[in-house]
Structure 1
Amino acid sequence: MAAKQAAEKFITEHAIAVFSKSYCPYCTRAKGVISELKVDQKKVGVMELDEVNNGGDIQNYLLEKTGQRTVPNIFISGKHIGGCDALLKAQSSGELDKLVASL
């Protein structure tokens, strides 16, 4: 239950919430794309699941919530976007700019 509460609080508190692992190259790439967005970076939250006590539990909860076990696991305005490939696809199609325009 604590993992669910931690994850939901994190998603609610950040316009862009990224669940990541510090050593993951896909996470690094996704965080790079997000850092280039015309968004106040204070609205962006990154939780490194390998650096928090209940990271495994949070990752298990995210699997239940989204059906996605892998990281990065990205939410924009509370909506699940997906992982790095989905973020890059949204970026190339222009959808990402639309998603963050109102942030």
Structure 2
Amino acid sequence: MTKVIMYSTAFCPYCVMAERMLRARGVTEIEKIRVDLEPARRAEMMEKTGRRTVPQIFIGGTHVGGYDDLAKLDRSDGLMKLLAA
């Protein structure tokens, strides 16, 4: 399965929902980058995505976006295709 990276914080309900959705789709390993513990990583996230909010999810080399973007991708059957690539 494709590598999944998620920029997150400790108290983020959208991060929890995103992780739950990914696990329900068979993802067993998610590399979590805690931007609340490592401020430099938040700057990295913002540079890569142009966004300040978490979660920011990458599947393979593709920036999916946040939870709403992930849910939209799932509804359009794109999430499973991206995970299988």
> TM tier, shorter chain?
0.7 to 0.9
* Equivalences for residues 1-103 of structure 1 within 5 A: 15-39=3-27, 41-42=28-29, 44-50=30-36, 52=37, 55-102=38-85
Compare the two structures and name the one with the higher helix fraction. Answer: 1
Amino acid at match of 1:18: M
C-alpha RMSD of matched pairs (Å):
1.5
Q: Which runs of 5+ in 1 are unaligned?
A: 1-13
Q: Secondary structure at the match of 1:62?
A: helix
What is the aligned residue count?
84
Q: Which runs of 5+ in 2 are unaligned?
A: none
Q: Answer whether contact 2:33 2:41 (CA < 8 A) is retained.
A: no
TM-score, normalising length from structure 1? Answer: 0.74
Larger radius of gyration: 1
C-alpha distance in structure 2 between counterparts of 1:37 and 1:91, whole Å: 9
TM-score, normalising length from structure 2? Answer: 0.88
